[in-house]
Amino acid sequence: DAGITQSPRHKVTETGTPVTLRCHQTENHRYMYWYRQDPGHGLRLIHYSYGVKDTDKGEVSDGYSVSRSKTEDFLLTLESATSSQTSVYFCAIKQDTTDTQYFGPGTRLTVL
């Protein structure tokens, strides 16, 4: 499972509140990614990181920010959650030797 954990696994919050999701990896991978999964859209990239403090936007980055102060942790923050951000969020790492991404178990977020 590539040593990826996500926390929390489930969260219900209210519109306008800040939310932070955490992705933790144990294998020192350089590349980490945040995706959201919505029916009919597959997975869409929110933000990604290619090293400590090196991050960039994906295709659906509006309303999200990220931080990576340590190799093992990649945080996704919703500054002011909206109902359109209700989704399942997946973190992934890329294994450099195989150019393959492996995914965490996901976080189900509901914004009321």
**Interacting residues toward other proteins by CB under 8 A:** 31, 33, 35, 40-45, 48, 50, 56, 58, 90, 92, 94, 98-106
Residue 40 vs 62, nearer CB to other proteins: 40
User: Most distant CA pair in the chain: distance in Å?
Assistant: 42
Buried b / exposed e across 9-32, counting CB within 10 Å, b at 16+? eebebeeeeebebebbbeeebebb
Distance (Å, whole) CA 80 – CA 13: 10
Closest distance between other proteins and the C-beta of residue 73, in Å? 18
Provide the minimum distance between the beta carbon of 11 and other proteins in the complex, in angstroms, as a whole number: 15
In this complex, which beta carbon is closest to other proteins, that of residue 74 or of residue 90? 90
Cis-peptide, bond into residue 18, ω within 30° of zero:
no
Nearer to other proteins, 6 or 85 (CB): 6
How near is the Cβ of 68 to other proteins at its closest, in Å?
A: 13
Beta carbon of residue 88, minimum distance to other proteins (angstroms, whole number)? 9
The answer for residues whose C-beta is within 8 angstroms of residue 103's C-beta and 6 or more apart is 4, 90, 91, 92
